[in-house]
Amino acid sequence: MDQEGVVTVEIYRPSPYIPGGGGSAGPRAGVPRANGAEIVDDVGAWRPLGLTFMWSLQGALNEPDRYRQNLEWAAAHGFDFKRPLYEVAWNPPLTINPGPAKPNLPTFPDHLGAVARDLDLSWSLGLRSGITLSGKGTGYDLERLASDVGGVIAAGRADRVLCVEMQNEYTNGGDPVEVLERMARAIRPKIPNMLGLSYYSPPAGLTNEERDRDLRQWIERTRAVGGILFIVHTERAGDADHGCRDARQDWDLKNGNPLIGVDWEGPGPGSSGAVQNRPIILAMKRAIGIMCRAPIFVLHTGTGVYGDGNPSSSGAPRPPNFWEIENIEAIVSAIRGVVALVPAGVENWQQANTQWQAPNPVAPFQPHHHWEGDAQVDDKGKRNDGVNKAYAALGPDGRVVQMPLGVRESVRLTASYPLRDVTVYDPIALAPVPGFEGLAFPAGGVLELPGGPWSDPTVSYIIHGAR
């Protein structure tokens, strides 16, 4: 700390972890942008994998060595970007107050300088930043915040930023959406980066027609201010349907079309409320999201919120460092690896639900039964086995992909039309399931896949084929 109280964080030597930035996709360059529902930069298309890192500025200020170690861990584990907060009224020392709007909150030292150093340090280690400008509560002029941070980005850092969100969960004690719109209009002329307002959360109690109208209004609000992102915080359903409910919610990300879906703050290890730490569920959640126009995925963990080691309000463990999270190596391996099984360009394909009929897109296979809960029979008197969900996508060149999620005991999949080159993949092993490679089916042909026991029906697959 110098004599004027300004904290300086050293920009360390170039990192061995992909100095050009890019995490799991290798060295990257250029400003991230949209190609339909895909994300591209100067290197090409990829699916950005992020990590909640809300304590970035506080970590750099108060514990720079530990903060750097956590950044290096993220880069070494293939994350493409981190998600920091740049304003929030948490209790000291976690407050990030850009200015003295509320005298009882300490002003963060050299706030914009800290933002600049954080973007630079992360980039030097191979990480872009997916910024959330406001976490709420300081009373600071948020339009000014957006303009000022935009100036920091515009000063040669646009390639270091994946995207910018105006406010975290604005409906949870935040500002009116009109404030978010003014923020977006303040930052939009300064930077070329992708923008979103906040997470989309429709009011409770709406009819289906009202919900559809509310969604369309949100999409138009976003587009009107130059935004392109449909940001979603999926419900943290925990063990509902043995975790399958957590994964299947990413189907709804397609509803933001023509915006690009972002799975921004879903359930994860140590998340508030219910947690999710099953590698297969998180892997399938990411895969389904990509298939449903959402190439951006953030692994949300309790560790990424405060970084102080204290448990969540519900008592879930939140170790201070990412590498101390239970089962984190298996989780990261699963969510990184599953991308290899999701066909290139699938973000721009047609999505298809099972039991849809023409003129809607028709899924390649129809399961014999969709299960929910653990009752031996469902409400129609049918045995409660089969598959939890089996969403699909259809490519313009005839390729198809389908993702049976949560197979209980077994599932019989009936071909909706003739299919060829059908191969069933294990999403964790990333290899074809023995005996299920290069198959062909006539319309009405049956593919039977084994599943998990009644008590743990989380066995899932990714099927490739062609019409």
CA distance 420 to 391: 19
Locus of tokens 């020392």: 93
Across the range 239-268, mean pLDDT stands at 96
**Digit-coded pLDDT (tens) for 107-120:** 999 999 999 999 99
Locus of tokens 């990030």: 96
Tell me: pLDDT of 67 over 70: yes
Q: Are 249 and 405 in contact (CB under 8 A)?
A: no
State the SS3 of 406-453. Answer: EEECEEEEEECCCEEEEEEEECCCCEECCCCCCEEECCCCEEEEECEC
DSSP string, 6-50: -------SPPSS-TTS-GGG-S--S--EEETTEEE-SS-EE--EE
Longest Cα–Cα distance of the chain, Å, equals: 78
Amino acid identity, position 51: L
- Please state the separation of Cα 289 from the chain's center in Å: 8
Q: Are 138 and 149 in contact (CB under 8 A)?
A: no
Per-residue tokens: 305: 């919120």
Q: Are 165 and 36 in contact (CB under 8 A)?
A: no
Tell me: pLDDT of 95 over 70: yes
pTM for the model stands at 0.93
465: β partners? 400
Is the torsion defined by CA of 102, 106, 110, 116 positive or negative? negative
Q: How far is CA 448 from CA 136, 436, 457, in A?
A: 51, 10, 15
DSSP 285: H
- Cα torsion through 330, 333, 339, 341, rounded to 10: -70
Q: Of 169, 184, 173, which Cα lies nearest the Cα of 266?
A: 169
Q: Are 439 and 433 in contact (CB under 8 A)?
A: no
Tell me: pLDDT of 254 over 90: yes
CA distance 256 to 266: 17
Locus of tokens 């998990």: 452
Tell me: pLDDT of 209 over 50: yes
Task: Identify the pLDDT of residue 27.
Answer: 65
**Digit-coded pLDDT (tens) for 18-62:** 233 333 434 689 999 999 999 999 999 999 999 999 999 999 999
Beta strands in 305-418 (DSSP E): 350-352, 365-367, 386-394, 399-408, 410-415
Task: Label residue 205 exposed, middle or buried (CB < 10 Å: 0-12, 13-18, 19+).
Answer: exposed
> In a 3-state reduction of DSSP, which class is residue 194?
strand
CA distance 307 to 309: 6
Task: Identify the pLDDT of residue 158.
Answer: 97
Q: Are 336 and 205 in contact (CB under 8 A)?
A: no
Task: Identify the pLDDT of residue 8.
Answer: 33
Is the torsion defined by CA of 101, 107, 113, 117 positive or negative? negative
Q: Are 446 and 413 in contact (CB under 8 A)?
A: yes
Is the torsion defined by CA of 334, 200, 91, 110 positive or negative? positive
Q: Of 114, 113, 168, which Cα lies nearest the Cα of 137?
A: 168
Least confident of 16-30, 271-285, 302-316, 346-360: 16-30
CA distance 105 to 99: 9
Least confident of 20-24, 97-101, 245-249: 20-24
**Digit-coded pLDDT (tens) for 390-407:** 999 999 999 999 999 999
The DSSP H or E segment spanning 280 is helix 279-291
